[in-house]
């Protein structure tokens, strides 16, 4: 009897607390509606990966196909090519793109004086704001072996005609990854620069008194202080290893390099939206396969990082 | 404790020299292509075609820019991109700030659950096909809405904003204003927003850049040429080299299009990138404050 009364009172209190905050719920109405409609409804739509979707019957009316679509993808002759390309491009990209901003930030932080440092910093983050389309346009112009910067410099130095990078299929992944380094190192370093700026200055002073060289200070003070940030960023990128950015690959793709440049996201797009057949179910199945692997990788790296360094995102 | 260079130990001298050399090399590697593109855009068509531009403009000429500005599609694209950027960012800011503000309040019952709804979408999504079906079912395919509404909240940005609200606005202000009878919406407008200028400026920058540079959604959702943003036209001109002489309004330039196609591309690269580069300096001073507090402590 008393318990019941208590529960009632508790519920009343909660209701009152909710009621007091009605304005906040009002503000949240649209943002929540938005996320439910534009993120969760499509997630529900993933059932078509297990169906044989057709426009006429829609998502619910289409017949079930079980795991047919997943089987179809895994046994198709494209499967290994697409998987290998995706993993190579993204692991290569991660391996190169991860250390660069860290080294750059450490170097910048070690520079004395502020003028030159500021100039370097403001110039190097600029390219980040160039859109993918323009970036690919610049690549095509600059790397042209006859009229571009590459061709001009090459013939100036060697006197011959430069090899055609853009027509070389195997060069695709290098152009892709290194242009990314060119574009993003400066910007990606900002977060490390901020972490370095918050290092306690007395640590440096103590180290100096103890006779530590500037390089030793980097190893023993700077590096540990950006480790938490670095491990979180590493977890996040591990969670998107299978997500090679669609736009840049798609824009750089041509008939010459397709053998090396077809990755999961471009393949999904082609099967689902670009080809005449528009196989929505197969395309969704591939996309889902991809997301599940990503999610698993994220969980694994997060768990590992937590074990090793105590830093995790959840 | 700064010492004069000559007073440093030998080891430190080597260290500084190597650092400066490496940083300078990287600086040049980044800067040089930018200068090259800029110089090429101010050169004559023949000089670009013959690969004579190395550092400075050769045979200074504005043909590239004249072609760009007399190219009909560029104007259509510019107008549309401007519209999507302004309208889209306005929607983004309202939605993001509303969500971030509410979720920054720890006296909101159910806050953790709502937060989870948002964070989960950062790691798992329905993918492009199911989103496409949704847009189609909502009957907004091929309208301006399919560009403006999906992506109204970028969860990552929202979390940065929320963290800023939590960490940089003293909780005492809330207590004090509640005692004075200030409602939750009044508190947002009168207290939070004026104190969060830097965080909001950074949000504006993020969203403006992403709208201006957006290519994927317009490509899959739009088929009506009149609604195309600049990026779609840029793709056909810069990437596929499809230049349609009939859309160039100046007949004199139309005749020599094959000769100035190269220089026109350089000019187009400059023209389409300048708008985002221009807003950066205005927002830069807020950048470190607005982003760092949000992300480092996040």
Q: A35 with A121, same domain?
A: no
- Rounded-to-integer distance, Cα A118 and Cα A121, Å: 5
Of A22, A26, A34, the C-alpha closest to B95 is A34
Q: Is the pLDDT of residue A162 over 60?
A: yes
Give the pLDDT band (50/70/90) at residue A217. confident
- Choose among A112, A182, A194: nearest Cβ to B30: A182
Interface A:B, Cβ pairs < 8 A: 267
Residues contacting residue B232 through CB under 8 Å, at least 6 positions apart = B77, B215, B218, B219, B222
B 187-216 residues with CB < 8 A to A: 188, 209, 212-213, 215-216
Q: What is the pLDDT of residue B297?
A: 41
Closest CA–CA distance from residue B196 to any residue of chain A (Å):
18
Q: A27 with A148, same domain?
A: no
Higher pLDDT, A154 or B2: A154
CB-based contact (8 Å) between B162 and chain A? no
> Poorest-confidence range of A23-27, B68-72, B225-229?
B68-72
Q: A28 with A95, same domain?
A: no
Give the pLDDT band (50/70/90) at residue B255. low
Beta bridge partners of B71: B248
Q: Is A51 helix (H, G, I), strand (E, B) or coil?
A: strand
| Chain A residues close to B212, C-beta within 8 Å | 131
Percent of chain A clearing pLDDT 70 (strictly above): 98
Q: A34 with A156, same domain?
A: no
| Structural domain contains residue A196 | yes
| A141/B238 Cβ within 8 A | yes
| Chain B residues close to A198, C-beta within 8 Å | 296
| Structural domain contains residue A61 | no
Q: A22 with A150, same domain?
A: no
Q: A28 with A89, same domain?
A: no
Q: A88 with A156, same domain?
A: yes
Count of domains in chain A? 2
Sign of CA dihedral A15, A21, A27, A31: negative
| A112/B16 Cβ within 8 A | yes
Give the pLDDT band (50/70/90) at residue B296. very low
- For residues B30, B34, B36 and B40, what is the CA-based torsion angle, rounded to 10 degrees? 170
- Rounded-to-integer distance, Cα A222 and Cα A215, Å: 10
Q: A240 with A164, same domain?
A: yes
Q: Span B2-22, mean pLDDT? A: 84
Q: Span B169-180, mean pLDDT? A: 87
Helix B155-168 with B72-104: angle, nearest 10 deg:
50
Q: What is the pLDDT of residue B89?
A: 96
- For residues B53, B58, B60 and B64, what is the CA-based torsion angle, rounded to 10 degrees? -30
Closest CA–CA distance from residue B287 to any residue of chain A (Å):
10
Q: Is the pLDDT of residue B185 over 60?
A: yes
Q: A16 with A113, same domain?
A: no
Contact of B219 with B232, CB cutoff 8 Å: yes
Q: What is the pLDDT of residue A314?
A: 67
Q: What is the pLDDT of residue A20?
A: 84
Of A89, A278, A121, A12, the C-alpha closest to B280 is A121
Q: Span A1-27, mean pLDDT? A: 86
Q: What is the pLDDT of residue B292?
A: 54
Q: Is the pLDDT of residue A175 over 90?
A: yes
Contact of A124 with A130, CB cutoff 8 Å: no
How high is the mean pLDDT of chain A? 87
Higher pLDDT, B55 or B31: B31
**CATH value at residue A275:** 1.10.3720.10
How high is the mean pLDDT of chain B? 87
Q: A6 with A118, same domain?
A: no
DSSP secondary structure letters along A247-274: HHHHHH--TTTHHHH--HHHHHHIIIII
| Structural domain contains residue A67 | no
Beta bridge partners of A64: A51
| Structural domain contains residue A72 | no
| A269/B19 Cβ within 8 A | no
Q: What is the pLDDT of residue B259?
A: 76
The conformation of residue A64, written as its DSSP 8-state character, comes to B
| Structural domain contains residue A251 | yes
Give the pLDDT band (50/70/90) at residue B298. very low
Q: A206 with A254, same domain?
A: yes
* pLDDT tens, position by position, B89-133: 999 999 999 999 999 998 888 899 999 999 999 888 888 889 999
| Structural domain contains residue A314 | no
Nearest CA in chain B to A25: B102
User: Which structural domain, as residue segments, surrounds residue A114?
Assistant: 82-309
| Structural domain contains residue A58 | no
Q: Is the pLDDT of residue B165 over 50?
A: yes
Structure tokens at B2: 């700064």
Percent of chain B clearing pLDDT 70 (strictly above): 94
- Domains annotated for chain B, with CATH where assigned, are 72-230+289-296 (1.10.3720.10)
- Rounded-to-integer distance, Cα B39 and Cα B61, Å: 10
Q: What is the pLDDT of residue B198?
A: 85
Q: Is the pLDDT of residue A291 over 90?
A: no
Give the pLDDT band (50/70/90) at residue A246. confident
Q: A108 with A229, same domain?
A: yes
Q: Span B44-65, mean pLDDT? A: 85
| B212/A34 Cβ within 8 A | no
CB-based contact (8 Å) between B134 and chain A? yes
Residue B10 exposure: Cα atoms within 13 Å on the Cβ side: 0
| Chain A residues close to B235, C-beta within 8 Å | 133, 251
- Rounded-to-integer distance, Cα B133 and Cα A25, Å: 30
Give the pLDDT band (50/70/90) at residue B142. very high
| Chain B residues close to A104, C-beta within 8 Å | 23, 26
Counting runs of H as helices and runs of E as strands, what totals does chain A give?
Answer: 19, 0
Q: How far apart are the first and last CA of chain A?
A: 41
| Structural domain contains residue A77 | no
- Choose among B50, B131, B231: nearest Cβ to A131: B231
């Amino acid at each position: 009897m008393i318990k019941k009364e208590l529960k009632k009172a508790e519920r009343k209190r909660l209701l009152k607390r909710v009621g007091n905050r009605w304005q906040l719920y009002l503000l949240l109405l649209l943002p929540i509606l938005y996320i439910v409609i534009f993120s969760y409804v499509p997630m529900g739509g993933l059932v078509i990966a297990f169906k044989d979707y057709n426009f006429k019957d829609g998502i619910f009316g289409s017949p079930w196909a079980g795991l047919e679509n997943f089987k179809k993808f895994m046994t198709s002759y494209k499967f290994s090519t697409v998987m290998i390309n995706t993993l190579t491009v993204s692991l290569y990209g991660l391996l190169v793109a991860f250390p660069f901003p860290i080294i750059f930030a450490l170097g910048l932080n070690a520079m004395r004086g502020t003028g030159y440092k500021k100039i370097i910093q403001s110039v190097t983050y600029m390219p980040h704001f160039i859109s993918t389309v323009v970036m690919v346009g610049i690549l095509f112009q600059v790397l042209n072996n006859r009229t571009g910067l590459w061709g001009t410099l090459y013939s100036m130095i060697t006197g011959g005609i430069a090899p055609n990078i853009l027509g070389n299929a195997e060069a695709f992944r290098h152009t892709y990854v290194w242009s990314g380094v060119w574009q993003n190192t400066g910007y990606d370093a900002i977060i490390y620069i901020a972490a370095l700026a918050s290092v306690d200055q007395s640590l440096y002073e103590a180290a100096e008194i103890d006779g530590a060289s500037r390089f030793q200070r980097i190893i023993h003070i700077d590096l540990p202080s950006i480790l938490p940030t670095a491990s979180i960023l590493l977890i996040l990128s591990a969670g998107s290893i299978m997500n090679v950015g669609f736009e840049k690959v798609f824009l750089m793709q041509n008939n010459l390099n397709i053998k090396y440049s077809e990755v999961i996201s471009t393949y999904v797009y082609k099967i689902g939206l670009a080809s005449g057949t528009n196989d929505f179910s197969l395309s969704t199945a591939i996309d889902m396969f991809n997301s599940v692997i990503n999610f698993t990788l994220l969980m694994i790296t997060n768990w590992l990082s937590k074990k090793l360094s105590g830093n995790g995102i959840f | 404790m700064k010492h004069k260079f000559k007073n440093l130990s030998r080891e430190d001298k080597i260290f500084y020299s190597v650092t400066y050399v490496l940083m300078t090399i990287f600086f040049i590697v980044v800067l040089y292509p930018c200068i090259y593109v800029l110089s090429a855009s101010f050169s004559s068509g023949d000089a670009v075609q013959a690969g004579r531009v190395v550092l400075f403009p050769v045979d200074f000429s504005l043909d590239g820019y004249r072609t760009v500005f007399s190219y009909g599609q560029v104007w259509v694209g510019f107008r549309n991109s401007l519209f999507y950027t302004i309208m889209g960012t306005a929607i983004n800011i309202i939605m993001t700030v509303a969500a971030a503000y509410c979720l920054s309040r720890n006296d909101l019952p159910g806050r953790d659950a709502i937060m989870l709804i948002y964070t989960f979408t950062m790691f798992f999504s329905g993918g492009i096909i199911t989103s496409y079906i949704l847009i189609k079912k909502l009957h907004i395919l091929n309208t301006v809405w399919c560009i403006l509404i999906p992506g109204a909240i970028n969860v990552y940005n929202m979390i940065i904003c929320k963290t800023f609200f939590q960490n940089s606005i003293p909780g005492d202000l809330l207590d004090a204003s509640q005692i004075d009878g200030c409602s939750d919406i009044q508190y947002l407008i009168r207290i939070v927003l004026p104190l969060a200028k830097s965080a909001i400026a950074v949000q504006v920058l993020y969203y403006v850049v992403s709208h201006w540079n957006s290519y994927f959604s317009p490509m899959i959702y739009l088929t009506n040429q009149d609604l195309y943003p600049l990026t779609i036209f840029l793709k056909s001109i810069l990437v596929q080299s499809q230049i349609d002489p009939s859309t160039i309004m100046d007949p004199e330039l139309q005749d020599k299009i094959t000769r100035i196609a190269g220089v026109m591309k350089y000019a187009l690269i400059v023209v389409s990138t300048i708008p985002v580069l221009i807003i950066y300096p205005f927002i830069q001073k807020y950048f470190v404050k607005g982003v760092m507090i949000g992300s480092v402590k996040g």
